[in-house]
Amino acid sequence: MIAVLPVRAGRLPAGADAAVAACAGRALVIGEQPRVAAGSLRAELSELRVCEAGPFAPSRWAAGLAPLLAGAGPVVLPGSPDGRDLLGRLAASLGWPAFAWCTEVTGSSVTTTRHDGRASVRVPVGAPFVATLVPTAGRGHPRASGGPWAITVADVPLAEHDVREAEVVDVTDADPAEIDLAEADRIVAGGVGLGGEDGFAALRRVADGLRASLGATRPIADRGIVGHERQIGTTGAAVDPTLYLAFGISGAVQHTAGLGTPERVVAVNTDPACPMMAMADLAVVADARATVEALAARLGRP
């Protein structure tokens, strides 16, 4: 198996390390400044290929990569927007089946979800395939040591493929309130300890002030206070932010299993012994709603 990592401006997509780890360290990095991006990988590498291919062009990339990947076995892409965009095109170019949003990928099977995440299904696959892997699958990767792999410059004749590509009209900065939680660098999340609509209205103001994305636990999503796309956990979004602020969240395993490995966790709860407080870098024993309202006022968004 080999991981194919589409990169923009030398930045790895969310889930790059998970894809490389699933492929025992075999990776092909393609896009703008792929060598720079490869230097940010945390997963151990056994084989690294880089291809300077310029701005993201999924149709041209798929057509050019197909001959190179035909004998490489199953191809694993990160479950990022660009990975998902490349999935169908690459599968079509190779003539292989495609499997989206998998939680586990091996050389002969994939494990994916069905029924809005309520069921996990293992699918045996007897032929090569292309799959996307959820960004936080297999988290806790060892940091790459800098060797002893060799860097191979992949010769991908992209210019030879005159294919119809989608026209990029404009590229704008991501809105933290709208982006996929899996892509979020900062997340502020609330649980039942934050209360109802009023508490989450204040939390949204805090998220806006911190340029962070809003998240929640399943009970909050089930009540309709936030959409299910904002739910974090085993039956919701799998995230891996740099900063995670948890207000009124006890830290049930169904929630924490979707958290990845944030660099910093701040938890606010009245129960100092709850699991979320135990995993926090900074644990504040206080009323979550009162703290959120005070923080919103401090940020100038009362």
pLDDT tens-digit series, residues 33-64: 999 999 888 888 999 999 999 999 999 999 99
DSSP label at residue 21: H
Q: 214 pLDDT exceeds 70?
A: yes
Higher-confidence position of 260 and 191: 191
pLDDT value for 243: 96
Residue 136's pLDDT band (cuts 50, 70, 90)? low
Tell me if the domain spanning 181-298 has CATH number 3.40.50.1220: yes
List own/partner pairs for 198-202 with CB under 8 A and 24 or more apart. 198/289, 199/248, 199/288, 199/289, 199/292, 200/225, 200/226, 202/289, 202/292, 202/293, 202/296
How far is C-alpha 206 from the chain's CA centre? 23
pLDDT value for 149: 57
Task: Tell me if 2-160 shares its fold with 181-298.
Answer: yes
- The answer to whether 6 and 15 are in contact (CB under 8 A) is no
- The answer to whether 30 and 6 are in contact (CB under 8 A) is yes
What fold, for 2-160? Rossmann fold (3.40.50)
d(CA 166, CA 291): 46
d(CA 18, CA 16): 6
Query: Comparing C-alpha atoms, which of 63, 77, 67, 126 is closest to residue 97?
Result: 126
Residue 144's pLDDT band (cuts 50, 70, 90)? low
Element (H, E) at 99: strand 98-105
d(CA 268, CA 247): 5
d(CA 52, CA 61): 11
Compute the 3-state secondary structure of the chain and give helix, strand, coil in percent, each to the nearest 5.
30, 25, 45
Q: Domain segments of the chain: what residues?
A: 2-160, 181-298
- The answer to whether 241 and 221 are in contact (CB under 8 A) is no
Please state the φ and ψ torsions of residue 84, each to the nearest 5 degrees.
-70, -35
Residue 25 CB neighbour total at 10 angstroms? 18
Helix pair angle (197-210, 288-298), 10° resolution: 40
pLDDT value for 143: 52
**33-47, 166-180, 199-213: segment of lowest average pLDDT:** 166-180
> 0.85 cut: is pTM over it?
no
Computed over every residue of the chain, the mean pLDDT equals 89
pLDDT digits (tens, 9 = 90+) for 248-287: 999 999 899 888 888 899 999 999 999 999 999 999 999 9
